[in-house]
Chain A
Amino acid sequence: MLTKKLPPVQSFLLLFSRRVSHLTRQQYDVIVVGGGHAGTEAAAAAARVGAKTLLVTQKIQTIGALSCNPSLGGIGKGHLVREIDALDGLCGRAGDWAGIHFSVLNRRKGPAVWGPRAQLDRQRYREFIQSELLSTPGLTVLEGSVQELHVTEPSPEEPGRHRVTGICLADGSPPISASSVVLTTGTFLCGSLFVGQTTSPGGRIGDAPSSAGMSQILRERLDLRIGRLRTGTPPRIVKDSVDLHLAQLHPPDSHPTPFSFMNTQTSCKPEDQLPCYLTYTTPGVDKVVKESLHLNCHIQEDTKGPRYCPSIESRVLRFPGRSHQVWLEPEGVTSNLLYPQGLSMTMPPDMQLRLIREIPAMHRAEIHTPGYGVQYDFVCPTQLSPSLQVKSTQGLFLAGQINGTTGYEEAAAQGLWAGVNAARWALSMPLVALSRTESYIGVLIDDLVSRGVTEPYRMFTSRAEFRTSLRPDNADLRLTLKGFEVGCVSSLRYKEAVKVKDRLQEAMATLETLTLSTASCRKKLPDIGVSENKNSSLSGMELLQYKDMSFEMLASVFPESLSRYMEFSQRLKIEAVYKPHCDLNKKEIERIQKEENMALPQDIDYFSLPVSMSKEVREILDRVRPSTLGSATRLEGVTPAAVVALFNYVQVTGRKERKRHRNQQERKEEEDEEVCKRNASLPQ
């Protein structure tokens, strides 16, 4: 994979345009609108499932652009990247290709919360993503701005239920039809940019704003609840103008850990990696923030911004008098820019310059591009089902910031899952959901669709109830096989995952059978601290659970049975330590899955439901319209009594429904038979 030569950007841009010119068929299974992290994963996933897919983006050149920070992964986010990779998504492999500084965060805190992370070369990342999309069979890329979304009028039988039929571009070309449309508009949905006191329409500096039509259609035609969020990005600093010796050097890991299960090494050589630098804000920074407040519209607006990615302005306002960290991150191998993580700001550019120069390492720094704020529309995600389809509109899927999330990884994860379901919808396959008990992607989507958002949503490991089971190391075991079933995993990766699974199981079984008496443990492995008073024997599995016991040490005691599993030494150690805890989780997981499997019909009229239920509960249920009983139970304010009532209602109506269905079927069969008879009697 890594040895693959990427075509130079120019030549494949040509290839793209050639594809576009060959665009004679104006009908697709899936249309993906947007070429960011969500859009690219969605398009690639839809194509992998087997749908004829079209990706429409404003500028082909910016496909795969890292609009904000030049990094991927981290704690919680790294988990998402591993899961996306396990489902054969792009970003893990792209990260391995474009990474220039790899480190696993939380190394000292236990494998369940390790956070694989990398600084990226922006250009290489874009190149990889563009080249991947290009080589994906069944995927076409088109440059253009989407003017309109075509939906059918709801049929009288199903009021308020539309169906997507296609899109219309702003250039006046004929409409393009599709069964599914995935919207990944990012910050471009009614986006406006803020620097100081000036405001201009747009989603990213340097790019044209997208048409206002889309937001209007979502709001007026489809009657969706729309909210507004804000985010921001720091100024980019000219590297040569920074005195890096005044900042702390942060070297990368000496052995880079790749994101992808398919890679054993990263494209960047260990010794070629670039460092990051850490520095701190000074009281002078506080002063500039306070002086510039009246010149700062973005900060005065009351649109919800994230608590965990705040601008320097909001940090200073919320925690005054403190010194805040600023990370100086490289933007690429050849780039002469630094990204000052932690200095996102929206004050006027001259004040921005004054501010950064208050920091010793940047006392003479120059700004290449000023920081700015973005405000954008998002669709309240409780209006989606766990497949990320809009409940009221068949075939319309949303992913990324449009659902109120923040972060590349969160966007990519939703994009992939929306792409899978958009393709399945178009190909008349049942929609699929990921459980929060099996993946962070499941946690992410479940949190979004069943709880909604009040601020941009970011993934943390603390959001996952079963964190000890959902580890970065076992994402392939959790998801690749399932991904193959739903159609988004190639057979190559599937075979690899099956092999790994079998080998691990075999090794675990071997570990269970190996035993060592405590006496010989103390003799052969004196350092692991097997207690004196234990007179029984320990299995290999139990031995591995000791803190200071590595698989290598165990293999040296049992070379003939264990040396063949050396490639899995780390994974086996982790599996052994976590096994008892995961076993404990199992029952609770099964209970939740049982509840998740009970679907609630989307057309329930909660207000007229003939059960005893308070008005408040009815309102909550009507507003959120949970897809499953499981998500209903997690809603705040929904009482167990209400859940029971719902369950009953669904059971009873389900029975009636099935009966009606059976009757219909029988009638239809009878009719069919009659038709057959009639046909048979006709002269051939």
Chain B
Amino acid sequence: MSVKVKRRLSAQRRIIPVVHRGKDARLDGKALQRRREEGQRASGRRRGWMTDAFTSTGISCPHRLLCDGVPAGLADADTIFALSSGHGRCGVAVVRVSGPASATALRCMARHTHLPPPRAALLRSITDPRSGEVLDRGLVLWFPAPHSFTGEDSVEFHIHGGSAVIAAVLQALGSVPGMRPAEAGEFTRRAFQAGKLGLGDLIHAETEAQRRQALRQMSGELGHLYQDWSRRLKRSLAHVEAFIDFSEDELIEDGVLDQVDSSVSDLQAEIEQHLQDERRGERLRSGVQVVIAGATNAGKSQRPAAIVSPIAGTTRDVVETAVDIGGFPVLLSDTAGLRDSRDLVEQEGVRRARERMQQADLTLVVVDSAHLPSEVHEAADFLLEHLRSVLSSPTQPETGRCLLVLNKTDLLPETQRKELDRELRGFRGLPPVCLISCQSNDGLKDFLTALQGSVKTLCGDPLSGAPTLTQARHRAHLQQCVAALAQYPRYRDSDLALAADGVRLALTSLGRITGRVGAEEILDIIFKDFCIGK
């Protein structure tokens, strides 16, 4: 199991996701200029371009282009990127970039001052352009136009195949101005438009049928959800179109539009909710938030050396570490021991620890096993009580979001240890329990397996589908969908053609996930729902 230290970030830094202007200096002059222009255009005022992107749609997202980009017509002027090797675990992953900003991407990700020679593999550190942090060491290749797969400027990153590395690289690419995740089959389309495609590549051209298939296979619930949206959106559009094309001569009551109004605003709210709530993809990109909590001196900061190197000193603030657990990115937060204290600094530490636990995806509650009552049932009751106080939750803790770690088991007699291990596993109301000793490394393997299992559940299993790529793409389309829907209420009373255009764009964007919807399909709904007789 490869678990290694990746980076250290201050807690503050994670809480406020601001891109520092100073980082712009790392980009080339043109990109910088464009960033500023775009930022100013978005609001008409001078502010950070990132904040502009956020406020312009009201949705916070890591890819600014996805926020305020063109609603539907994903045009070729964009630079696209995607994982072009297969999904799932693999030794080497290839991330492809194509489009005019490819050179910028290469410069800021591989720190090239000059572009490398064309079509030569170079071993480079691949870094996050925003933080400067090294994501991986891999090969980069530069294919200037027209000698590339797509005929455009292209770059390939050959990186290590862990999903954390892939996710980090894709996320970093998304932060480069002018870049967005590719649509299904978009590389192929560009290649074909440039007359570049060899017959062998056809195998990979994604077809509409395959896309539908993928949707069907997509974790059933999500597929149903998207299909349901698509159905409702189609119906809304059909009713607006019917009102436009037939209401002058036919009996189509104004009430039809009222239904559409509520349907559109419901959809808007639901998709927005989904974009905010649906954190799986985000977890995979930005890491699962795991918080280590417990009473003072339970040995929280003496976590197994296999996870992180020991951090010296008493932990008073939240100390955050990014680690890779079984290929998943995890942000491990070490918190101050929870106790009532008169020490102001320590009080603040405890406050932050509690705040962090509120946001956590997974909390590791560390207990000094020496404090446990020797009788097993009493021990269980003690643990339940302890969990409630640590998580400050009046009800039973959600077992999927919590892992109980009994530390310092080397201090227990062998028989008690075995009994605890046997009896507490699967004990009603208790989260998974791991007995470990940081001293003797006992139980470490089981603990890591349990932790990995929890993280995997939280992220979704990349082997069962293609979360990173499709998630990013789906997110982009859903965001465009929501943005387009906003056009409907804006023009509802002044210009129904423009209002309908919003619904059309929304359906086009959603259709990029659920399949294209043609005019005939809309007409079918119109003629089914209305008696059109002129």
Partners in one complex: yes
| A639-653 interface (Cβ within 8 A of B) | 639-641, 643-645, 647-648, 651
Instruction: Tell me if B123 is interfacial: C-beta within 8 Å of chain A.
Output: no
Q: How far is the CA of A322 from the CA of B494 in the complex (A)?
A: 32
Residues of the B chain whose Cβ atoms lie less than 8 Å from the Cβ of A578: 498
| B409-427 interface (Cβ within 8 A of A) | none
Which of B185, B209, B250, B531 lies in contact with A318, CB distance below 8 A? B531
Instruction: Tell me if A299 is interfacial: C-beta within 8 Å of chain B.
Output: no
Instruction: Tell me if A22 is interfacial: C-beta within 8 Å of chain B.
Output: no
Q: Pick out which of these stretches binds chain A: B6-14, B69-77, B131-139, B382-390.
A: B69-77
Contact of B497 with A112 in the complex, beta carbons under 8 Å:
yes
Contact of B248 with A75 in the complex, beta carbons under 8 Å:
yes
Residues of the B chain whose Cβ atoms lie less than 8 Å from the Cβ of A467: 497, 500-501
Instruction: Tell me if B391 is interfacial: C-beta within 8 Å of chain A.
Output: no
Flag A314-325 by CB within 8 Å of B: 1 or 0 each. Answer: 010011001111
Residues of the A chain whose Cβ atoms lie less than 8 Å from the Cβ of B491: 110
Instruction: Tell me if B258 is interfacial: C-beta within 8 Å of chain A.
Output: no
Residues of the B chain whose Cβ atoms lie less than 8 Å from the Cβ of A612: 199, 202-203
Nearest Cβ on chain B to A161's Cβ, whole angstroms: 29
Instruction: Tell me if A585 is interfacial: C-beta within 8 Å of chain B.
Output: yes
Nearest Cβ on chain B to A550's Cβ, whole angstroms: 13
Contact of B205 with A110 in the complex, beta carbons under 8 Å:
no
Contact of A308 with B534 in the complex, beta carbons under 8 Å:
yes
Which of B244, B499, B501, B518 has the most C-beta atoms of chain A within 10 angstroms of its own C-beta? Answer: B244
A308's nearest neighbour on chain B, judged by CB, is: B532
Nearest Cβ on chain A to B206's Cβ, whole angstroms: 7
Contact of A113 with B497 in the complex, beta carbons under 8 Å:
yes
Residues of the B chain whose Cβ atoms lie less than 8 Å from the Cβ of A607: none
Instruction: Tell me if A371 is interfacial: C-beta within 8 Å of chain B.
Output: no
Contact of B496 with A587 in the complex, beta carbons under 8 Å:
no
Please count how many residues in chain A sit with their CB below 8 Å of the partner chain's CB atoms. Answer: 58
Contact of B75 with A591 in the complex, beta carbons under 8 Å:
yes
Flag B188-205 by CB within 8 Å of A: 1 or 0 each. Answer: 110011010101011101
Q: Pick out which of these stretches binds chain B: A7-15, A386-394, A455-463, A618-626.
A: A455-463
B530's nearest neighbour on chain A, judged by CB, is: A319
Instruction: Tell me if A309 is interfacial: C-beta within 8 Å of chain B.
Output: yes
| B23-81 interface (Cβ within 8 A of A) | 44, 70-73, 75-77
Instruction: Tell me if B241 is interfacial: C-beta within 8 Å of chain A.
Output: yes
Residues of the B chain whose Cβ atoms lie less than 8 Å from the Cβ of A611: 199, 202
Instruction: Tell me if B217 is interfacial: C-beta within 8 Å of chain A.
Output: no
Which of B73, B244, B248, B250 lies in contact with A462, CB distance below 8 A? B244
Residues of the B chain whose Cβ atoms lie less than 8 Å from the Cβ of A74: 248-249
On whether A105 and B248 interact (CB within 8 A), knowing A307-B527, A648-B199, the answer reads yes
Contact of B523 with A460 in the complex, beta carbons under 8 Å:
yes
| B194-252 interface (Cβ within 8 A of A) | 195, 197, 199, 201-203, 205-209, 241, 243-246, 248-251
Contact of A641 with B205 in the complex, beta carbons under 8 Å:
yes
Which of B188, B193, B497, B531 lies in contact with A319, CB distance below 8 A? B531
On whether A641 and B202 interact (CB within 8 A), knowing A110-B498, A341-B534, A584-B71, the answer reads yes
On whether A588 and B75 interact (CB within 8 A), knowing A75-B244, A342-B534, the answer reads yes
Q: How far is the CA of A310 from the CA of B250 in the complex (A)?
A: 13
Contact of A324 with B208 in the complex, beta carbons under 8 Å:
no
Q: How far is the CA of A341 from the CA of B189 in the complex (A)?
A: 49
Contact of A324 with B519 in the complex, beta carbons under 8 Å:
no
Which of A108, A109, A309, A648 has the most C-beta atoms of chain B within 10 angstroms of its own C-beta? Answer: A109
Question: What is the interface of chain B, defined by CB distance below 8 A to chain A?
Answer: 44, 70-73, 75-77, 185, 188-189, 192-193, 195, 197, 199, 201-203, 205-209, 241, 243-246, 248-251, 491, 494-501, 518-520, 522-523, 526-527, 531-534
Q: Which 9 pairs between the two chains have the least Cβ-Cβ distance? A: A110-B495, A587-B75, A588-B73, A110-B497, A112-B497, A639-B207, A109-B496, A641-B205, A462-B241
Q: A324-B533, A644-B201 are in contact. List 13 more A-B contacts (CB 8 A).
A: A74-B249, A75-B246, A106-B496, A110-B495, A460-B245, A461-B245, A462-B519, A587-B73, A587-B76, A588-B75, A640-B185, A643-B192, A645-B202
